[in-house]
Amino acid sequence: MTSPLLISLVSCLVAVNQASLIGRCDLAKVLHQEDLDGFEGYSLTDWLCLAFVESDFNITKVNENTDGSFDYGIFQINSHYWCNDYQSHTENNCQVDCQELLSPNLLAIINCAKKIVSGAGGMKNWVKWRLHCAGRPLSYWMTGCHLA
């Protein structure tokens, strides 16, 4: 009897340990469900490329910048402008706690990303997207992904 319980516990621990990474196709499904395909003229492939170049699909990534601000989550949203990290001055344009941008359900970060993309500059607000995704063929990001 203890063997199935132990296996179950170990499985849960492994799942928690790997929970910070999301698969490319799993992310595509979530982004599709949240109506990001075509949002402000950007395709799912743009969003997937953005998530890869910013965080390697790591939902809980936090990066400190030289100006003392932090970038949060799969899209690396900056604390100076978009969320409140309670550590530095912020405009908090998304009206969200930065820790919420690290949630595995992704809704807070998706809503904030929508707000960023809806403003001036669109995805050009992300330097890495401009350098690695903009104007490039990106269809391969959806290879093997089935959204249905």
The catalytic residue positions are 54, 71
Q: Which two tokens stand for residue 61?
A: 């990534």
DSSP string, 22-33: --HHHHHHHHHH
Beta bridge partners of 39: 42
Question: Who contacts 48 (Cβ-Cβ below 8 Å, separation ≥6)?
Answer: 24, 27, 28, 31, 138, 141, 142
CB-based contact 50:129 (threshold 8 Å): yes
Length of the chain: 148
